[in-house]
Amino acid sequence: MVIGLMIIMAIPTITGTAQAYSAQKTQEDRKKEEKRMKKFYIDVGCDAEFRGVENIRGHRVVLRNDRVYLGPTEATNPSRDGYVAEAFYIEYPDSERNPVPLGLVSQTRAEPPLLNWIYVDKETAELKYGNKTQSIEHMVGPWDWTKDESRITFTKKQLFIAVEDPRSKVWQLYYDIDDDGLAKFVTGKRRKRMVYVDLNRTEMPET
């Protein structure tokens, strides 16, 4: 399976853990796991109406410089806009965490292919991506989906916030850790514009 191969190349620790578990897993568990590993794009929904909402609604999540942004809707140029996230769920391999949380993984570049964890930086509340060393001390999950499997959740909630860079007008993704509109994290004299958004799963066509 292609996904398996890519994991072996990029995150060797996952496969070791996955194999150890899989011995005890039932077929049903494995089917569930396979479903979780179906890759999807992350498309942004936003019900609010305000000036500039067209720079959010319907945009697709991209990964750039360790952070997570809303990319342009037209064809993206990876070197300028970032790599379009191709995400899927898999258990985060950390035996210190009980229960083992479901993590979110994405390929982060084309050549050579690299998989990283998407996580929430506990100091800044930004969504970021990185390897296990970079992510383990932060909030790595549990990532999940809503009952109808159409939207992404984090710690069972959907408190994703897009924050605008006033100069570039690019929107960056944060998670509202304290459920207070990022009061502690996005501060300053000129508080930036921000809005709660939905993260939709758009399954990638099977190749």
Ligand X SMILES: *[C@@H]1O[C@H](CO)[C@@H](O)[C@H](O)[C@H]1NC(C)=O
Query: Based on CB atoms, which residue is closest to ligand X, 43 or 126?
Result: 43
Provide the CB-side half-sphere exposure for 6 (13 A, CA).
19
For the CB of residue 166, give the shortest distance to ligand X in the complex, in Å: 24
CA distances, 25 to each of 29, 50, 73 (Å): 6, 49, 41
Query: Based on CB atoms, which residue is closest to ligand X, 33 or 136?
Result: 136
Query: Based on CB atoms, which residue is closest to ligand X, 77 or 150?
Result: 150
For the CB of residue 43, give the shortest distance to ligand X in the complex, in Å: 4
Q: Which residue has the tokens 């921000």?
A: 194
Q: Say how far apart CA 125 and CA 183 lie, in whole Å.
A: 11
Degrees, nearest 5: CA angle 102-111-78:
85
Query: Based on CB atoms, which residue is closest to ligand X, 97 or 132?
Result: 132
For the CB of residue 47, give the shortest distance to ligand X in the complex, in Å: 9
Separation of CA 105 from chain center = 7
For the CB of residue 184, give the shortest distance to ligand X in the complex, in Å: 26
For the CB of residue 108, give the shortest distance to ligand X in the complex, in Å: 10
Provide the CB-side half-sphere exposure for 116 (13 A, CA).
24
Beta-carbon contacts of 46 under 8 Å, excluding residues fewer than 6 positions away, are 53, 56, 57, 162, 195, 196, 197, 198
For the CB of residue 150, give the shortest distance to ligand X in the complex, in Å: 4
Query: Based on CB atoms, which residue is closest to ligand X, 134 or 153?
Result: 134
Query: Based on CB atoms, which residue is closest to ligand X, 22 or 150?
Result: 150
Q: Say how far apart CA 86 and CA 77 lie, in whole Å.
A: 15
**Phi–psi pair at 166, nearest 5 degrees:** -60, -25
Degrees, nearest 5: CA angle 87-93-99:
100
Binding site for ligand X (CB under 6 A): 43-45, 58, 131, 133-134, 150-151, 198, 200
